[in-house]
Amino acid sequence: MDWKPAQIGGALLPVSDVDTAVSAFLRTAPPEKRWDVDFSFDWAQADAERLTDGERSAVRFITIIEDHLPGYFAVYEKNFPVDGSVDLDTFAHNRELYHFTIRWAQEEDTHARTLERYQVEAGLADREALRMSLAKEGQQRFDLPYTAAVQFFAYPLVQEKATQIYYQHLRQVVGDPLLRDILVRLSKDEARHFSFFADMVRLYLERYGDAVVDPIREVIADFRMPLADTIRGYWRWALKIADTARYDHTEAYDHLIKVVNRAVDAKSDKVDELVSFVSACRVMRSG
What are the two backbone dihedrals, phi and then psi, of residue 203, each rounded to the nearest 5 degrees?
Answer: -60, -40
Footprint (CB under 5 A) of Fe ion, residues 131-170 = 160
> Which stretch in 30-38, 106-114, 202-210, 235-243 sits in contact with Fe ion by CB under 5 A?
106-114
| Residue 255 touches Fe ion, criterion: CB under 5 A | no
| Whether 253 contacts 192, CB under 8 Å | no
Which SS3 state, helix, strand or coil, does residue 9 take?
strand
Helical ranges in 122-176 per DSSP H: 127-138, 151-173
Footprint (CB under 5 A) of Fe ion, residues 187-206 = 190, 193
> Which stretch in 1-9, 31-39, 58-66, 141-149 sits in contact with Fe ion by CB under 5 A?
58-66
Nearer to Fe ion (CB atom), residue 7 or residue 164: 164
What are the two backbone dihedrals, phi and then psi, of residue 9, each rounded to the nearest 5 degrees?
Answer: -80, -175
| Whether 278 contacts 271, CB under 8 Å | no
Beta carbons within 8 Å of 74's beta carbon, 6+ residues apart:
142
> Which stretch in 42-50, 60-68, 257-265, 275-283 sits in contact with Fe ion by CB under 5 A?
60-68
| Residue 111 touches Fe ion, criterion: CB under 5 A | yes
Compute the distance between CA of residue 179 and CA of residue 134 in angstroms, rounded to an integer: 20
At closest approach, how far in Å is the CB of 267 from Fe ion?
30
Nearer to Fe ion (CB atom), residue 58 or residue 213: 58
Size of the site for Fe ion (CB under 5 A): 6
Nearer to Fe ion (CB atom), residue 68 or residue 93: 68
| Whether 125 contacts 46, CB under 8 Å | no
List of residues contacting Fe ion (CB under 5 A):
66, 108, 111, 160, 190, 193
